[in-house]
Amino acid sequence: MDHFAYRNGVLHAEDVPLPVIAAEVGTPVYVYSKATLVRHARVFREAVAVAGRHHIAFAVKSNPNIAVLRVLAREGYGADVVSGGELDRALAAGMAAEDIVFSGVGKTEAELAHGLECGIGQFNIELEAEGAALARIASAMGKTATAVLRVNPDVDAGTHAKISTGKAENKFGVPIGDAPAIFARLAALDGLNMRGVAVHIGSMVADLDPLAAAFERVGELVTELRAAGHTITHVDLGGGIGVPYRPHDRLPTPAQYGEMVARVTKDWGVTLMFEPGRVICGNAGILMTRVIWVKPGVVRPFVVVDAAMNDLARPALYEAYHHFQAVEPGEGTFDANIVGPVCESTDTFAMGRTIDLVEPGDLAVFRTAGAYGATMASTYNSRALVPEVLVDGDRYAVVADRILPATIMAAERVPDWLD
Ligand code: LLP
């Protein structure tokens, strides 16, 4: 459920008519609904609370805007970060350092040291050498790093190949069969407190069975580690549950996910950690755009909008579907291709889709763009970096400015030896 709905024929974000935002901020622009973020945060928490002690760390990569993070911090969420930059954002948003989890397959030594200086709550170790480096850096600083070992359970999440992470051939985690030996070697190091394990098999997981299979393997590993004398107090179950991108998509609900987790983990006796991203912020955002042209095509017309693959990369990268709606739809629909202005054919949002009839100048939105939207934006084709707006009831604020090409150009130099 979200708070984007038509009132008197005009699409609103909560109580704000979208044309009001377009008039003030321009297009393209991301618009987030605070009420939707809060609702999703609470629904997810209630869902996983049935499984017992838990900690939720929002996957900052899905939407790192500091106003969005502040909303979630107020809901008691911590953060799952994958870079020093994301760590700084989570702290700037008011998240407590001990509520922050540092994931990521290629943390540099500088990032590990930065995490230790900030006093973050947990490092998710991806390989033995990283654990050894963390132990060494922590010892040199006179600290102990709290850590878990990420395992790769070799389970197919059944999601798009480019966002699958739990198959043996993926770069993430240590093979689950090697985990007991690696865990034992890391647990013996000074400077490291190995308190558990982590798993994440992929994003946009539309079926609970692979998740359950992965968690069951992790449960067996926990038993094995305890039998070897290790104290296991935390298991991080990652993120991954999907959201409906199409109006009629039926996906597992957070409640069904929570019930599955409770069933699989009931004897574990640990604090469960969760790293949800998309399920919290996906439906809480839209990308608003304006139609520039409706261009006749040989097969069907092209609706050329002012948003492009640099603003919302998901369709170009993963053939992702984002529902398209006119902000003030009239009567009728037509079959069209929806494309952006970037000079390559992959800048296509949809081919042969039946959409609201639109004309040049009309406003439209791509729905479910709150996750992996603005965060993956670029300035390709020397386009501006897309701005972001947060709505709360009848008020709204620009929470990220449009960064103009001139600002980007100002950071570039022509060395004198080129003269
Ligand atoms: N934890 C870890 C270790 C992750 O790698 C991810 C996502 C998450 C949590 C959050 O997953 P979520 O709950 O959002 O599914 N750019 C792609 C998605 C990449 C996901 C990467 N990792 C997309 O636009 O679909």
Ligand 1 centre distance from Cα of residue 310 (Å): 19
Residue 64: φ, ψ to 5°: -90, 5
Supply the mean pLDDT for the chain: 97
Of residues 166 and 120, more confidence is placed in 120
Helices (H) then strands (E): counts for the chain: 12, 21
Q: Is residue 283 lining ligand 1, measured as CB closer than 6 Å?
A: no
Ligand 1 site, residue 281, Cβ cutoff 6 A? no
Does 368 sit in the ligand 1 pocket, CB within 6 Å? no
324-376 pLDDT tens trace: 999 999 999 999 999 999 999 999 999 999 999 999 999 999 999 999 999 99
**CA–CA gap between residue 173 and residue 341 (Å, rounded):** 39
Domain 34-279 in CATH: superfamily? Alanine racemase (3.20.20.10)
Region 380-390: what's the mean pLDDT? 98
Atom 6 of ligand 1 has which residue's CA nearest to it? 239
How far apart are the CA of 274 and the centre of ligand 1, in A?
12
Whole-angstrom distance, CA of residue 276 vs CA of residue 58 = 5
The 8-class DSSP code of residue 416 comes to G
For range 34-56, the mean pLDDT:
98
What does each C-alpha distance from 371 to 36, 357, 379 come to in angstroms? 13, 27, 19
pLDDT at 138: 98
pLDDT number for residue 169: 84
Whole-model pTM?
A: 0.97
89 lines ligand 1 (CB under 6 A): no
The annotation places the binding site for substrate at 278, 314, 318, 344, 372
> Mean pLDDT, to the nearest integer, of 190-211?
96
Distances (CA, A) of 301 to 116, 344, 352: 55, 17, 9
Q: Each residue of 241-282: pLDDT tens digit? A: 999 999 999 999 999 999 999 999 999 999 999 999 999 999
Annotated active-site residue 281? The verdict is no
What's residue 269's pLDDT? 98
Tell me, in angstroms, the distance from the centre of ligand 1 to residue 278's CA. Answer: 7
Q: Which residue has the higher pLDDT, 98 or 169?
A: 98
State which H helix or E strand residue 324 sits in.
strand 324-326
pLDDT of residue 160: 84
Catalytic option among 298, 343, 410, 411: 343
In short, whether 276's Cβ falls inside 6 Å of ligand 1 is yes
Report CA torsion sign: 228, 229, 230, 234. positive
3-state secondary structure of 325: strand
Atom of ligand 1 nearest to the CA of 165: 5
Residue 147's pLDDT is 98
Euclidean distance between CA atoms 127 and 173, whole angstroms: 6
Determine if ligand 1 sits within 6 Å of the CB of residue 80. Answer: yes
CB-based burial label for 139 (10 Å; 0-12, 13-18, 19+): middle
Q: Are 375 and 12 in contact (CB under 8 A)?
A: no
Pocket test for ligand 1, best of 48, 61, 102, 208 (most atoms within 8 A of CB): 61
For atom 20 of ligand 1, which residue has the closest CA?
203
Quick one: average pLDDT of 140-159? 94
Note the pLDDT tens digit of each residue in 4-38: 999 999 999 999 999 999 999 999 999 999 999 99
Buried b (16+ CB within 10 A) or exposed e, 223-262: eebeeeebebebbbbbbbbbbebeeeeebbebeebbbbbb
What pLDDT is stored for residue 157 in this prediction? 85
Q: Please, what's the b/e burial string for 113-131 (b: 16 or more CB within 10 A of its CB; e: otherwise)?
A: bbbbebebbbbbbbbbebb
3-state secondary structure of 192: strand
418 by DSSP, 3-state: which? Answer: helix
Contact 44, 22 (CB under 8 A): no
Grouping H, G, I as helix, E, B as strand and the rest as coil, residue 272 is strand
pLDDT on residue 1: 87
What pLDDT shows up at residue 166? 81
* Per-residue pLDDT at 163 exceeds 80: no
Cβ-count burial of 376 within 10 angstroms (0-12 exposed, 13-18 middle, 19+ buried)? Answer: middle
Q: Is residue 164 very low, low, confident or very high in pLDDT (cuts 50, 70, 90)?
A: confident
CB 386 within 8 A of CB 28: yes
pLDDT at 52 over 80: yes
Q: How far is the CA of 199 from the centre of ligand 1 (A)?
A: 12
Concatenated DSSP letters of 9-43? TEEEETTEEHHHHHHHH-SSEEEEEHHHHHHHHHH
ipTM of this complex > 0.90?
Answer: yes
Question: How many other C-beta atoms lie within 10 A of the C-beta of residue 360?
Answer: 12
Residues annotated in a binding site: 240, 275-278, 314, 318, 344, 372
**pLDDT tens per residue, range 305-316:** 999 999 999 999
Kindly give the distance from the C-alpha atom of residue 301 to the centroid of ligand 1, in angstroms, as a whole number.
34
Amino acid at 407: T
Instruction: Map out the domains of the chain as residue ranges.
Output: 4-32+282-410, 34-279
How many whole angstroms from 188 Cα to the centroid of ligand 1?
A: 31
**Tens digits of residue pLDDT in 211-250:** 999 999 999 999 999 999 999 999 999 999 999 999 999 9
CATH number of 4-32+282-410: 2.40.37.10
Average pLDDT (385-390) is 98
- In short, whether 278's Cβ falls inside 6 Å of ligand 1 is yes
